[in-house]
Structure 1
Amino acid sequence: MSPLFPALAAGSTRPALHFGDQALSHAELATVAGALAARIAGAPRVAVWATPTLGTAVGVVAALLAGVPVVPVNPKTGERELTHIVTDSSPALVLAERGVELPPILAALERLDTDVTGVMGEAGPAVPLPAEPSPEDPALIVYTSGTTGPPKGVVLPRRAVTATLDALEDAWQWTEADVLVHALPLFHVHGLILGILGPLRRGGSVRHLGRFSTEGVARELSTGATMLFGVPTMYHRIAEALADDPALAKALTGARLLVSGSAALPVHDHERIAAATGRRVIERYGMTETLMNTSVRADGEPRAGTVGVPLAGVELRLVDEAGAGITTYDGDTVGEIQVRGANLFTEYLNRPDATGAAFDDGWFRTGDMAIRDPDGYVRIVGRKATDLIKSGGYKIGAGEIENVLLEHPGVREAAVTGEPDEDLGERIVAWIVPAQADAPPSAEELAAHVGAQLASHKRPRTVRYLDALPRNDMGKIMKRALRG
């Protein structure tokens, strides 16, 4: 069976990972990750404290080499959410960089440090790499927020990872010569699977900025990097900076591929970047459960407002409200996107009910609404539900934020919606009926309350106070009335 990372198995001396002043070749990565893989072999699952560091990448690669499912953990996750993730996934041990302090629930587990000290400069694997596991074996369990309730653990098999990365090799003409620059977090699909595992599978390299900055993007793209991965918030900041930063414009002009994902990139930002650089940003469409479904191809038309065409191996259809297939590609008829293929997850961990409800005769119900142009390009127009907010590249469920807000003693009723934001794509808005009309809790207090229980990016950016929430005859909050 072919390896997940051919360049590691071959002991390639080409650069692989670069984080700040730390870097590893594929051969050096094989040395350190192979040794760590031998130590964790046989574990049922491992958690990885997913800071944007070289140690995180090493830990994930080690677990994948060992055939042990990885649970990436967002270091900014609040106590309640973290407790749910750890309890639900039951990792046997945790991998973290040396010296990093872990929260109590993870500190109680056996810990292995992902230490690369003394490895840089060595050649070849210290131990033989393990045999490649079955394609159906779980590779990662990534927790994703639904519209209500706690996050669900999406079990991604190895074949889903390879299917997506190999389809992107075709769509983006991705080769070992490519050098990727990105600054995304390493606990979700975009930053970890596409941004780290993608270059490693191709035998190329990645330069991670640690923290996004336009200066970092310009520096890396002007010194050999060929590709940039980002979310709309990053590209918005790039568009804002271009007028006063000729070095940034020159660096972007020289890039082979600029890719945006996780939410729609506004057409205004598309046009500003194209005008300043002569280069078009391409968009792709995916989600945790499916990895990547569509993309504008590197050799295709980079059409703003679309996410391109289905990737190789991905079947995509639109269905109407009755579940009937829509076959008219007229750029006008709206339907829900359903997909099937080797890129799909196998189950929601410990949630057979949710897994069953997610599929329609083998087709995964994405909940995203779209139209298709006559040439097959897909244009996403919104969510089937109204409770998923896309902010700063994150997909955020309104229900869990509402539940935490309602626990605040100063809150009688709460609703959460998204609102357009030039920087974040959408900002989180909390609509509050205070317990005492003359003494409402402040916006800062409510944001801190949410941030203490959930990840920091789930805090409301705006708070609006009402005497009552609009409800229908059944008592359900009418969120469209709030947005109106």
Structure 2
Amino acid sequence: MKQVFDALRHHAATRPNDIAFEDDAGSVTWQCLASRVEHLARELDDAGAIVAIGLAGGIDYVVADLALSLCAKRQVPLPFFFSNAQNAHVLMDAGVGTVITNNPELFRALPRLKMVDAASIPSVTLTMRPYIGGAERVIYTSGSSGKPKGVVLGDRQLSASITALSNVVQADESDTHLSVLPLAQLLEQICGIFLPVVSGAKTVFRFEATKALFGAPIDPLVNAFEEVRPTTSLLAPAILSRWVDALEDRRASDSLRFVAVGGASCAPSLIGKAIAAGIPVHEGYGLSECCAVVAMNRPGDNYPGTVGAPLEGVQVTLDAGEIVVSGPTIMSGYLNRAAAPDVWRTGDMGHFDEGRLVIDGRKDALLVTGSGRNISPEWVEQRVNADPRVAGSALGLRQSDGALVLIVVAAAPVDMARIESHLTDLPLYARPEAVILADPSEPGLLYPAGTPNRTVVSELINTRPAVALATAAQRIAS
């Protein structure tokens, strides 16, 4: 993290009046940002060792994140998309004593917590202290059921990830990053805060665009790209699909030079449509346990269907098809559990194609049909997920007869013929025999990134009626 604060101090001294961050409420210059960070850090010096960030995003979040790092606290982001029960678990599990928030009413039920307002602006300009190191952050995995686990990351992991991703994105002072993903997610903390600070780029937050990730109208996101004219951004596949569909015959802003996509499997056909629409999409792969990114396609070396080569300094090997990662980005461990091993078994299956990593699916999600065929459900799901009407999908086996059944979570009406059209390039043995249509509000079915909760999927497939597809007879005959 030292490189972040060295860069912030440099920008504050050499470009004090340039805009660093902008959100729906206003903007902050580099000098004002450095002063606000120091001001909040002083207020937090005596706040205890563990502090949560209870903010949805924007400039206040940036100030809170940097201030907590500057004064060497352990910070715990509270995702606004977590349930009250999940965030209550996070607060208790992490031992949080202070929450930075602009809405203390959210935490009135926990009177033991101290509240700090991140929006306060110092009346005098303060000089930011040097970064001494030792800060940590705990990123809780976003389960929709059960209790999330806290991934502990510190200077070693973040510094290595920032350096490696800086070499991929190659941003500079001329860049503008449009931040869409929630800042409580580690990947957006790196790409929406740290990389822009290191490079001197400007970052713009548009919360209405962020809401589109959770089913809100797509127009604010489309408008944000047209009005802000960013050069870089980071998206999830589902929102990319909706954006491409909303563009229709138009092209995206010609200002864009690098758009990363990750968090879930992305169909090569969707990437092809996005590139044809003028969106320079580069798919990557990673997980919080490995500090967000393991591999990434690069400008000039972008191969849809792969997630690119491993990041510099990150070693990726395969053990019986399972992706194994080693290097400086491996987490310290899960909070309140044993330290992490030096080599992290991801649970994801993959293979290499000329040095570029290809993700085949989750090891524990592999389906074995009655005919002995091994099917990665992601292989089927990504084709359906490329449809902008689909918020997510999940393939599973019905216990009563061994049939492949596909759950389609439809954000808008979609007929069976359209669903079937997305599956025509699959071999018959991998095509679902039946479909269950589900609503995005189905409890616990999808995680925030759009990936399915396999436990809930199995329950629905084995208890809910399904509609047979027209090709089911073909599949059985084969």
**Fold shared per TM-score above 0.5:** yes
Q: Is the 8 A contact 1:7 1:201 kept in 2?
A: yes
Q: Is the 8 A contact 1:226 1:255 kept in 2?
A: yes
Alpha-carbon distance, 1:268 to partner: 2.0
Q: Which secondary structure does the structure 2 equivalent of 1:5 belong to?
A: helix
In structure 2, what is the equivalent of residue 426 of structure 1? 392
Deviates more, 1:64-73 or 1:138-147: 138-147
Deviations 1:117-161 (A, max 9, x none): 577xx8xxx333233233xx3421101157995211111112211
Confirm or deny that 1:282 pairs with 2:282. yes
Which residue identity does 1:196 align to in structure 2?
A: I
Alpha-carbon distance, 1:448 to partner: 7.5
Which residue identity does 2:180 align to in structure 1?
A: A
Return the alpha-carbon distance in structure 2 between the equivalents of residues 430 and 107 of structure 1: 45
Equivalent in 329, 333, 340 of residue 343 of structure 1: 329
Confirm or deny that 1:90 pairs with 2:98. no
Alpha-carbon distance, 1:201 to partner: 2.5
- Per the alignment, do residues 152 and 107 of structure 1 end up closer, same or farther by CA in structure 2, a change over 3 Å counting? same
In structure 2, what is the equivalent of residue 70 of structure 1? 75
- Per the alignment, do residues 462 and 243 of structure 1 end up closer, same or farther by CA in structure 2, a change over 3 Å counting? farther
- Per the alignment, do residues 254 and 128 of structure 1 end up closer, same or farther by CA in structure 2, a change over 3 Å counting? closer
Return the alpha-carbon distance in structure 2 between the equivalents of residues 144 and 84 of structure 1: 12
Return the alpha-carbon distance in structure 2 between the equivalents of residues 265 and 8 of structure 1: 35
In structure 1, what is the equivalent of residue 420 of structure 2? none
Deviations 1:242-282 (A, max 9, x none): 224x3xx141x3311121111122222212222232x5411
Q: Which secondary structure does the structure 1 equivalent of 2:81 belong to?
A: coil
Equivalent in 150, 157, 165 of residue 154 of structure 2: 157
Q: Is the 8 A contact 1:428 1:462 kept in 2?
A: no
Q: Is the 8 A contact 2:237 2:261 kept in 1?
A: yes
Return the alpha-carbon distance in structure 2 between the equivalents of residues 271 and 3 of structure 1: 36
Confirm or deny that 1:139 pairs with 2:136. yes
Structure 1 segment 389-400 matched on structure 2, within 5 A: none
Confirm or deny that 1:382 pairs with 2:361. yes
Confirm or deny that 1:31 pairs with 2:35. yes
Deviations 1:281-323 (A, max 9, x none): 11111111112111111232x1111110011111111111xxx
Confirm or deny that 1:204 pairs with 2:201. yes
Alpha-carbon distance, 1:101 to partner: 2.6
- Per the alignment, do residues 382 and 429 of structure 1 end up closer, same or farther by CA in structure 2, a change over 3 Å counting? closer
Q: Which secondary structure does the structure 2 equivalent of 1:211 belong to?
A: helix
Which residue identity does 1:78 align to in structure 2?
A: S
Alpha-carbon distance, 1:181 to partner: 0.6
Return the alpha-carbon distance in structure 2 between the equivalents of residues 447 and 224 of structure 1: 33
Q: Is the 8 A contact 2:144 2:444 kept in 1?
A: no
- Per the alignment, do residues 149 and 240 of structure 1 end up closer, same or farther by CA in structure 2, a change over 3 Å counting? same
Equivalent in 224, 233, 236 of residue 228 of structure 1: 233
Alpha-carbon distance, 1:199 to partner: 1.1
Q: Is the 8 A contact 1:260 1:283 kept in 2?
A: yes
In structure 2, what is the equivalent of residue 482 of structure 1? none
Q: Which secondary structure does the structure 1 equivalent of 2:246 belong to?
A: helix
Alpha-carbon distance, 1:197 to partner: 2.3
Q: Is the 8 A contact 1:180 1:206 kept in 2?
A: yes
Q: Point out which structure has higher relative CO (alpha carbons under 8 A, 6+ apart).
A: 1
Instruction: Show structure 1 runs of 4+ deviating over 6 A.
Output: 428-433, 443-446, 454-463
Which residue identity does 1:60 align to in structure 2?
A: D
Which residue identity does 1:290 align to in structure 2?
A: C
Return the alpha-carbon distance in structure 1 between the equivalents of residues 32 and 203 of structure 2: 15
- Per the alignment, do residues 234 and 186 of structure 1 end up closer, same or farther by CA in structure 2, a change over 3 Å counting? same
In structure 1, what is the equivalent of residue 298 of structure 2? 297
Q: Is the 8 A contact 2:231 2:257 kept in 1?
A: yes
Confirm or deny that 1:267 pairs with 2:246. no
Q: Which secondary structure does the structure 2 equivalent of 1:338 belong to?
A: strand
Q: Is the 8 A contact 1:293 1:310 kept in 2?
A: yes
Alpha-carbon distance, 1:214 to partner: 4.7
Return the alpha-carbon distance in structure 2 between the equivalents of residues 182 and 111 of structure 1: 27
- Per the alignment, do residues 315 and 466 of structure 1 end up closer, same or farther by CA in structure 2, a change over 3 Å counting? closer
Q: Is the 8 A contact 2:68 2:135 kept in 1?
A: no
Return the alpha-carbon distance in structure 1 between the equivalents of residues 40 and 305 of structure 2: 44
In structure 1, what is the equivalent of residue 175 of structure 2? 178
- Per the alignment, do residues 215 and 146 of structure 1 end up closer, same or farther by CA in structure 2, a change over 3 Å counting? closer
Return the alpha-carbon distance in structure 1 between the equivalents of residues 269 and 439 of structure 2: 34
Return the alpha-carbon distance in structure 1 between the equivalents of residues 39 and 68 of structure 2: 11
Return the alpha-carbon distance in structure 2 between the equivalents of residues 7 and 19 of structure 1: 21
Which residue identity does 1:342 align to in structure 2?
A: P
Alpha-carbon distance, 1:61 to partner: 1.4
Return the alpha-carbon distance in structure 2 between the equivalents of residues 431 and 446 of structure 1: 21
Return the alpha-carbon distance in structure 1 between the equivalents of residues 137 and 204 of structure 2: 22
Q: Which secondary structure does the structure 2 equivalent of 1:132 belong to?
A: coil
Confirm or deny that 1:312 pairs with 2:316. no
Structure 2: gaps (5+ residues): 210-217, 367-380, 400-436, 466-478
Return the alpha-carbon distance in structure 2 between the equivalents of residues 2 and 450 of structure 1: 39
How many residues end up aligned between the 2 structures? 394
Q: Which secondary structure does the structure 1 equivalent of 2:57 belong to?
A: coil
Q: Which secondary structure does the structure 1 equivalent of 2:159 belong to?
A: helix
TM score, norm. by length of structure 1: 0.72
Alpha-carbon distance, 1:69 to partner: 1.5
Q: Is the 8 A contact 2:77 2:138 kept in 1?
A: yes
Alpha-carbon distance, 1:218 to partner: 4.7
Q: Is the 8 A contact 2:294 2:310 kept in 1?
A: yes
Deviations 1:174-224 (A, max 9, x none): 223211012111111122222222212322121111122455445445555
Return the alpha-carbon distance in structure 1 between the equivalents of residues 118 and 195 of structure 2: 21
Q: Is the 8 A contact 2:263 2:286 kept in 1?
A: yes
Structure 1 segment 344-359 matched on structure 2, within 5 A: 344-352=330-338, 355-356=339-340, 359=341
Which residue identity does 1:378 align to in structure 2?
A: L
Structure 1 segment 364-379 matched on structure 2, within 5 A: 364-374=344-354, 376-379=355-358
Structure 1 vs Structure 2 CA RMSD:
3.6
